[in-house]
Amino acid sequence: MTTLTIQTPDDWHLHLRDGDILAETVAATARCFHRAIVMPNLMPPVTNAEMLTAYRQRILNARPQGNSFEPLMTLFLTNQTSGADIVAAKAAGAVAAKMYPAGATTNSAAAVSQLEALYPVFEVMQEQGMLLLVHGEVTDHHIDIFDREKVFIDQKMTQIVARFPDLKIVFEHITTADAAQFVLAASNNVAATITPQHLLLNRNDLLVGGVRPHNFCLPVLKRSTHQAALRKVVKSGSSKFFLGTDSAPHAKEAKENACGCAGCYSAWSAIELYAHVFEELDALDKLEGFASHFGADFYGLPRNSGTLTLVREDWVIPAEITLPNGKPIVPFFAGETVHWKVQEASK
Ligand SMILES: NC(=O)N[C@@H](CC(=O)O)C(=O)O
Ligand SMILES: [Zn+2]
Ligand SMILES: [Zn+2]
């Protein structure tokens, strides 16, 4: 196979950040995706309808000329979030709210410390048809970082799913066989996103031969048996798993640091990286469902009408990109050869 045409894909988990850098991040994603779920973990986080509306406008202003990229906005849940905040966010166009356990990841200090306290808010979300997106890791100091997703399933996720059977829940960026199993066994109201890095890599790629800060993200890469479990579910073509890059830019100096930030900037090569993995799995015929159908179907949104054509052509991901603020950033998989390249996008 030398070309592959799929319906235009969407990215169901994305960090665009804010300010000058939007010119880079919006263009990188709009290159191949028509829509993206925009994560609300700014500083300060997007906690109300007014902030959400203003942030969406800044993203729209940063779109390349003539591009019809559509940001899908999300609300950041805190212990102060009320049912009224949900109703107002929904009216302002929010499609989902994001739950980060406090301290779990980048800019999550303001997030939820008492998950159960949010149950009245989940009730309103369920009524309003607003999705719940979950960063599924506990943050207790005594829990080993490699076990945090599994413990979250056992202590929190199982309970939320049982208590709110009609709430649509996306288990974001799953990293373990346990999470894949959990999602498979749950009702059709539970789905998951999977990143390129968790399909391509395992923890050896983070730690063997020296620390590789550009492969560091949260939840952290796991052992290869977990990577294999994620590869297996995408190869199966299950509609419960769909594309969410979790592209999360941090400047080079913040990654190559004594206390390096978590996040991989994958937008530069996102769809190509997935095509690369699906080819390795001998499952290129499953890419379109994963990238262009299952996410839209789960969110209850129409599938895109355009197409994207990839061509089988080797290219090397650049070692560095310069951000609009002049700072260098290292894209995910920098220096690696990818076998597929976007040839043409019609939206
Ligand atoms: N995935 C990451 O490692 N980082 C994300 C936050 C997140 O999705 O947890 C970021 O915003 O930098
Ligand atoms: Zn996260
Ligand atoms: Zn993320």
Q: What is the pLDDT of residue 113?
A: 86
Tens-place pLDDT, residues 210-254? 999 999 999 999 999 999 999 999 999 999 999 999 999 999 999
DSSP string, 256-291: SSTTPPP-B--GGGHHHHHHHHHHHTT-GGGHHIII
Q: What is the chain's alpha carbon radius of gyration, rounded to the nearest angstrom?
A: 19
What is residue 142's three-state secondary structure? coil
Q: What is the distance between the alpha carbons of residues 163 and 158, in angstroms, rounded to a whole number?
A: 9
In what order do the strands lie in the sheet containing 3-7?
3-7, 307-316, 337-346
Tens-place pLDDT, residues 267-277? 999 999 999 99
Per-residue three-class SS string for 39-102: CCCCCCCCCCHHHHHHHHHHHHHCCCCCCCCEEEEEEECCCCCCHHHHHHHHHCCCCEEEECEC
- Four-residue CA torsion sign, 131, 174, 221, 334: negative
Does 196 contact ligand 1 (Cβ within 6 A)? no
Task: Give percent of the chain with pLDDT exceeding 90.
Answer: 93
Residues shown for the chain? 347
Q: What is the distance between the alpha carbons of residues 288 and 271, in angstroms, rounded to a whole number?
A: 11
Residue 347: pLDDT band with limits 50, 70, 90: low
Residue 344: pLDDT band with limits 50, 70, 90: confident
Question: pTM for the full model?
Answer: 0.98
Does 15 contact ligand 1 (Cβ within 6 A)? yes
What is the chain's mean pLDDT, rounded? 97
Residue 93's φ and ψ, nearest 5 degrees, are 105, 5
**Residue with CA at minimum distance from ligand 1 atom 9:** 105
Tens-place pLDDT, residues 25-82? 999 999 999 999 999 999 999 999 999 999 999 999 999 999 999 999 999 999 999 9
Query: Is 246 one of the annotated active-site residues of the chain?
Result: yes
Q: What structural domains and CATH numbers belong to the chain?
A: 3-342 (3.20.20.140)
Contacts of 211 (CB under 8 A, 6+ apart): none
Does 246 contact ligand 1 (Cβ within 6 A)? yes
* pLDDT reading at 13 higher than 90: yes
Does 13 contact ligand 1 (Cβ within 6 A)? no
- Ligand 3 mean position to 270 CA, how many Å? 14
- Ligand 1 mean position to 3 CA, how many Å? 32
Tens-place pLDDT, residues 133-178? 999 999 999 999 999 999 999 999 999 999 999 999 999 999 999 9
Residue 187's φ and ψ, nearest 5 degrees, are -70, 175
Best of 14, 38, 41 for a ligand 1 pocket test (most atoms within 8 Å of beta carbon):
41
Contacts of 259 (CB under 8 A, 6+ apart): none
